[in-house]
Amino acid sequence: MATDNGNGAEGVGTGGRRGESEPVSDSLKTFGAVLKVLREEARLTQEQLAPMVRYSPA
């Protein structure tokens, strides 16, 4: 799963393609920050949360 990029939005804005970055909306940054807080409160790592939300990096 994506790593935290320092602004609380876990990997948001890294773009879907390698090496390309797209502007990130404020709503996506907010969603990433809220998701991180909830994940941490549940004491889950990104790797543990991924299958629960059917996330696949492929």
Q: What is the 3-state secondary structure (H, E, C) of 3-56?
A: CECCCCCECCCCCCCCCCCCCCCHHHHHHHHHHHHHHHHCCCCHHHHHHHCCCC
Q: How confident is the model over 8-24, as pLDDT tens digits?
A: 555 545 455 566 788 88
For residue 47, the tally of other CB atoms under 10 A from its CB is 9
pLDDT for the residue 11: 52
Name 24's Cβ contacts closer than 8 Å, sequence gap at least 6.
9, 12, 13
**Model pLDDT, residue 36:** 97
Q: Where are the domains of the chain?
A: 1-58
